[in-house]
Structure 1
Amino acid sequence: MPDAAFETRMREVLRSDVEFIAIIGEDLVTAGGKRVRPLVTLLAAQALGAGPDALATSHSWDELLRLSVCVELLHSASLLHDDLIDDSDKRRGQETAFRRFGNVVSVMSGDFMLARLLGELSGMPGSPALTRAFGQAASVICEGEVLQFQVASYADYSFENYFQVIHGKTAALLELAAQAPAMLLGADDSARDALSTFGREYGMAFQMQDDLLDLLGEEAQIGKPVGGDLREGKATYPVLCLLGGPHDAEVRAILERRAGEDGDVARMIALARQERTDDCTREEIRRRARLAIAALDALPPSPARTALAALAERELNRTH
């Protein structure tokens, strides 16, 4: 997890004289959590030879800390918007910003974070390329969120759409988090491509595991009721595996009524277990995680490379 220096930098970037923005910013800093995305950025930098005490690069560790803060700002801005879109009551056990302050404050605070992100990027070496990369990732995130609603509206369920959605929701930002240090440090194409592949495949495995837990996890462990995706009309991987099979009509009916009848979620869980689509989902998660780990072979062995591989390995058995 990023250290106190990361949190200090976050506070500096999010400082505002407007009380509501300042409160939301401080909540973000103190909320804790694993901070996976900035962690990936800092580990990727270390895997390339950078570090607080390293002399192998021409860039200071402070620049890399700033880059990791930019990654977290993009993530946090998207969460502020997501909570509003999803009508969420809680985020990491706390009342969501839009419930506490209203829609306008929540949306504008997210936009404030994006503006501060741009300000941070503007002062970095290689700013134009980094800004383009962040802009591209942000557009993919937006497209993924909108496509998710479009698929549910049109009942246009397919693996192609699902993979595009989860790439936008999760993998695009982890891909950026992993490759941005290579851009800042001027790493060669093979190292940048390796980290890009790692971030993308790790992100896909991460989101697929989240989706599987949403259907088949334990409520006490995941901290929310199971079946949330079904109630939003989202067909995730274990559900898509049921389509085209003997229960196709029943599964489509449950999706299209957004699991609105008593027993719908329980029935989908039973079907997933009966037809072993939970197993085929876990196999796809394993495949993606292994691709992520294999991509790191292009980098020299190091504790940071090992730590990145461990993040992907964790998706094989994560329960929350």
Structure 2
Amino acid sequence: MFDVIQEDLAALEPALEEAIVSETPLITDVGMHLVSSGGKRLRPALFLLAAHGGASFDRARAMPVAVALELIHTASLVHDDVIDEADTRRGAETTNAKWGNQIAILSGDYIFARAFKLVAEEGYDSSVYVKLAHLVCTLSEGEILQDHTAYQIPTGEDAYYERIRKKTADFLEICCELGGFIGGMSPADTAQMAEYGRDIGMAFQITDDLLDFRRSSEDIGKPAGHDLAQGYVTLPVIRALSVLGAGEREELAALITNPKKPVEEVARALALVRASDGLDYAQEQADAYLVRAKAALPASLDPRIRETCLMAADFIGRREF
């Protein structure tokens, strides 16, 4: 899918490995574990795509920001896994499972700091630092909102959309916006790329939430029903609560609000949501965001970059991992 930036993505990997090296061997080991576990590299890929869409792309100039974006994402996942008490991610052992919570948290802090050090050393415009700082703030806000509302019945969809915007959509928006800026896009085109990133970010998180219901643990690299078990009420569940009959709605609500539900009750909650139109409804909302994302792409984009952006949107809408 990302053939047009394949050389850039190939250069990203050794740059990531170099960025996580520490004078403390244990921190280097943790960083290598995280980098080698893979991932889609979607955030730096979107940044690089947008940067290529500008008139003055320079790989050496763009690469530190690409690395920083992936490091920020990685650090946030390390902290998420501690909060969720997760044992696996991407099919591999989590940092907290392998080294314990304290080392995991401090390693995440180290990776955040390395991301900002990389960018600070390059002397970018101050707006780049402001955007990255804003990104970390919104990521934290999204996680706080998610934790604060766990095991609660939502009053509607608005709170869910706010949460996923802060957790995911703002991140992809900033990736595309920074890419346009670093690559030399006009302000108007940069704003359109930011809109594209925000909309595919909303679709990405809705689709990610759908995977909790559609795929097995082996497929998605983490336990199926994980969100329900953690009390996270996602769009398919919100929809199910609004369309199920009174008896099933009350049963699902009781399951959601029980923080100590056993595996069989998680399975029952999954079954209730699957029996409603919640999954189809959530997919429709994701598809609507993707339509808006495609329409937002600047007319001035190089045809190869445009086609890759369209392919990325299609991948997000139908991904299975």
Scaled by the length of structure 2, what TM-score is found? 0.90
Matched, 1:253 2:286: no
1:99-143 CA distance string (max 9 Å, x none): 222222211111111212222222335431011101111111001
Matched, 1:293 2:294: yes
1:158 is matched with 156
Pairwise mapping of residues 7-156 of structure 1 onto structure 2 (< 5 A)? 7-49=13-55, 57=56, 60-152=58-150, 154-156=152-154
Distance 1:222 1:259 in 2: 23
Aligned partner of 2:202 among 193, 201, 204 = 204
1:310 is matched with 311
| Matched-pair contact (CA < 8 Å) for 1:44–1:181 | yes
TM-fit CA distance, 1:254? 1.3
Distance 1:208 1:178, change over 3 A: same
Which structure would you say has the larger RCO, counting Cα contacts within 8 Å and 6 or more residues apart?
2
Matched, 1:190 2:188: yes
| Matched-pair contact (CA < 8 Å) for 1:38–1:71 | yes
TM-fit CA distance, 1:157? 4.7
Structure 1 stretches lacking a partner, 5+ long: 50-56
Scaled by the length of structure 1, what TM-score is found? 0.90
| Matched-pair contact (CA < 8 Å) for 2:152–2:257 | no
1:53-108 CA distance string (max 9 Å, x none): xxxx2x63111111100100110110111111111112222221122222222111
Distance 1:123 1:187, change over 3 A: farther
TM-fit CA distance, 1:163? 1.0
2:10 is matched with 4
Match of 2:38, SS state, is: coil
1:198-245 CA distance string (max 9 Å, x none): 111111111111111102324442233321111111111111012234
* Further displaced range: 93-102 or 78-87: 93-102
Aligned partner of 1:238 among 236, 239, 247 = 236
| Matched-pair contact (CA < 8 Å) for 1:159–1:237 | yes
- Aligned-pair Cα RMSD in Å: 2.1
Match of 1:115, SS state, is: helix
Aligned length: 312
2:279 is matched with 278
Structure 2 stretches lacking a partner, 5+ long: 1-5
Aligned identity (percent) is 32
Distance 2:151 2:280 in 1: 28
| Matched-pair contact (CA < 8 Å) for 2:176–2:197 | yes
Distance 1:182 1:15, change over 3 A: same
Distance 1:67 1:290 in 2: 28
Distance 1:295 1:97 in 2: 38
Pairwise mapping of residues 170-185 of structure 1 onto structure 2 (< 5 A)? 170-185=168-183
TM-fit CA distance, 1:263? 4.2
1:248-283 CA distance string (max 9 Å, x none): 322211110147156433433333343322111111
Distance 1:32 1:289, change over 3 A: same
| Matched-pair contact (CA < 8 Å) for 2:89–2:222 | no
Match of 2:297, SS state, is: helix
| Matched-pair contact (CA < 8 Å) for 1:216–1:269 | no
